[in-house]
Amino acid sequence: MPPCAPASAGRRHPAAWLTRLTTRPASQRAPATPSHDRWYEIARTTSFRLAIVFACFFAGSSLLLFAFIYWRATVFETNRIDALITEDARTLASEDQDAILALINTHVTGDFHRVGYAALFAPNGSRIAGNLEGVPPGLPIDGKVHVVRAARIDLPAMGAIDVRLTARRTASGNVLVIGRNGQYMVILREVVVHALTMGAIPAMGLALAAGMFLAWRTQQRLKEVHRAAERIMGGEVHERLPIAGMSPRDELDRLSLLFNGILDETERLLGEIKATGDEIAHDLRTPLTRVRARLERTLKGDMGPEETRETVGKAIGGLDQALAIITALLRIRELENSKRQRGFTTLDPAEVILLIEELYQPIAETKDIAFAIDITPVPPMFADRDLLMEAVGNLVDNALKFTLPGGRVTLALGPREGDGATVIRVADSGPGIAAHERDLVFSRFYRSDRTRHLEGTGLGLSLVAAIARLHGMAPRVGDNNPGCVVELVAEGTSIVRPPAGGIGGD
């Protein structure tokens, strides 16, 4: 290790750069302080608002209920009283004079509630007995109940009020008036209002209190969620939102679970980026360290000019290798981010295959590898010619690199049996790819241990995968017994897709 190589730079806080990636400066962040710390903020919570609405609704329905009870009770009571006085009047009227007088007295004196009215008048209107001054004006003598204003002479303070009265002639021709005032209604109203205050108002208070409690509880949970979210934003990527854990899960828990799922996925992706980052660092450090050693050796100056030139040339080669890695990484990122297909045209993939064969045949010859192409006509493809060439070139490049002299590499184009999907297939007789590694080869920097010693950026297949995806093609790795087969399958979607906005247009 050269003395000034950063031996453990970035090792101490492996996640530090992730934090930088994921955390914006505090000034740019949305106001992070939760505004639910003050008591009156409870009034803003959804639960509390619901409680208020509920209490109002409850109050309204209680009022309606009581009004209905009051109304029905009034009607019932009025009918009962009317029947009572009609019956009283009818019974009294049929008695003789003495009995009538005695009964009127009983009626008046026994009236502790001061509700009764009873009087007997001579046919000329003069009072014979009872607590009314005279026959109230407007009261027909028909034996039916009427509401008339009348005053009791024994209770002048009460004054003339509306009274339910009935008048009837007795057998002797006198006029009998019997009735009751509305005092019973007052009592009834008092009962109802009392019931309302004793029952409904405490119930409303309870509803509000429950609402506030629920609001407070929800707020506490939200505060926890908020704190957890802040910690996550602060870079603690392992942090998760709290789950109250009640069963069945409430909506807040379900939401938290959903977000935790998103966080799991994000953390996994960040981990992948981090792993890639580590690999980039490692893959770059190797050539750069070599370059450094070579330049250091040159600096000592004890080499002849030819050796110096050669050493510097190798150093430049090492730098080129490092640059190639960076360039490939940038290209992959560009391709992965690119949703556009501006360079796409309708082309015959066979052209690309022929050109690749022309380009790579000399290498195969030099390495004593039999390189053959096999083209079965396929329908035109909607593709970017340069990118398709790059992808196929990379596959062939790889195949030639891993195949030993005397081996063979085949580049084939043709429709797939069954559905006729266009398949570009590169098969070699190299070491092959173990089944458990087949999914990994398209990820960045993956290199089988058996091929680790060979030169390359380790990014070729990731590049191929990115290009394939951009073309709606699926990259697949299989076994060639011996060797490996890599296929790019255009599964229907990308075959002559009509360009949306004109090919190559700006």
Partner 1 sequence: MDIDTFDDQGWSPVTSKAHILLIEDDRETADEIIRDLADRGYMISHADNGRVGLERACEGKYDLLILDRMLPEVDGLSIISQLRAEDVRVPVLFLSALNDVDERVRGLKAGGDDYLTKPFVLSELSARVEALLRRPAEPRTTRLRVGPLELDLISREANRDGRPVELLPREFKLLEYLMRHPAQVITRAMLLEDVWNYRFSPQTNLVDVHIGKLRRKVDAPGDFPMIYNIRNVGFVLREPQ
**Residue ranges that bind partner 1, judged by CB under 8 A:** 309, 313, 316-317, 320, 323-324, 327, 330-331, 334, 340, 342-343, 355, 358-363, 365-366, 384-387, 389-390, 393-394, 397, 400-401, 455-457, 460, 504, 506
Residue 304 beta carbon to partner 1: minimum distance, rounded to whole angstroms: 15
- Cα separation, 203 vs 80, in Å, equals 33
Identify whether 2 is preceded by a cis peptide bond (ω within 30 of 0): no
- Cα separation, 433 vs 440, in Å, equals 10
Q: Left (φ > 0), alpha (ψ -120 to 50) or beta: where does 374 sit?
A: beta
Given strand 422-428, what is the order of strands in its sheet?
A: 370-375, 408-415, 422-428, 484-490, 473-479
Q: Hey, which residues does 426 pair with through a beta bridge? A: 411, 486
Between 88 and 397, CB nearer to partner 1:
397
Residue 317 beta carbon to partner 1: minimum distance, rounded to whole angstroms: 7
Between 220 and 366, CB nearer to partner 1:
366
Residue 390 beta carbon to partner 1: minimum distance, rounded to whole angstroms: 5
Between 136 and 456, CB nearer to partner 1:
456
Residue 476 beta carbon to partner 1: minimum distance, rounded to whole angstroms: 22
- State which amino acid sits at residue 395: L
Count Cα neighbours of 485 within 13 Å in the Cβ-side half-sphere.
Answer: 13
Between 272 and 365, CB nearer to partner 1:
365
Between 343 and 492, CB nearer to partner 1:
343
Cβ(316)–Cβ(330) below 8 Å: no
Q: Helix axis angle, 251-300 relative to 201-233, nearest 10°?
A: 10
Residue 364 beta carbon to partner 1: minimum distance, rounded to whole angstroms: 10
Between 331 and 438, CB nearer to partner 1:
331
Residue 204: in which H helix or E strand, if any? helix 201-233
- Two tokens at 359? 């380009």
Between 111 and 357, CB nearer to partner 1:
357
In the block, residue with structure tokens 């990118």: 387
In the block, residue with structure tokens 């400066």: 25
Residue 366 beta carbon to partner 1: minimum distance, rounded to whole angstroms: 5
Residue 423 beta carbon to partner 1: minimum distance, rounded to whole angstroms: 22
* CA proximity to 108, closest of 140, 148, 153: 153
